[in-house]
Amino acid sequence: MARQLTEKQAGYSENNPTSAITSSLQEEIADLTKKFIASSATKAAYSLAQVIDNPTDLGNKERMIAAKDILDRGGFTKTDKVEVTSASPLFILPPKENENN
């Protein structure tokens, strides 16, 4: 009901399917969603800090999961370090095949 009222207030016909409206605004919707998630990242980081300050509060596990999801979607993922070691630092390639054969 609220969706139909909103569409009518925006000037769309009642017979106009929602998919037709959203498909033309797809890029704008995606851009606004990314901006919203990025602006929520500060709140998510603050929630993590509150868990550190008050580790025994009820609901901390859920807060941490939600904060991590927001930060991940905002591009603030934890960095994984990968260490590569080799007995021999030399890498030998196979012989190059002749293009004429």
State pLDDT tens for residues 3-41. Answer: 677 777 777 777 777 777 778 788 898 999 999 999 999
Look at residue 1 in the predicted model and tell me its pLDDT. Answer: 65
pLDDT at 3: 67
Per-residue pLDDT tens over the stretch 56-94: 999 999 999 999 999 999 988 877 887 777 777 777 788
pTM: 0.55
pLDDT of residue 101: 55
DSSP class of 61: H
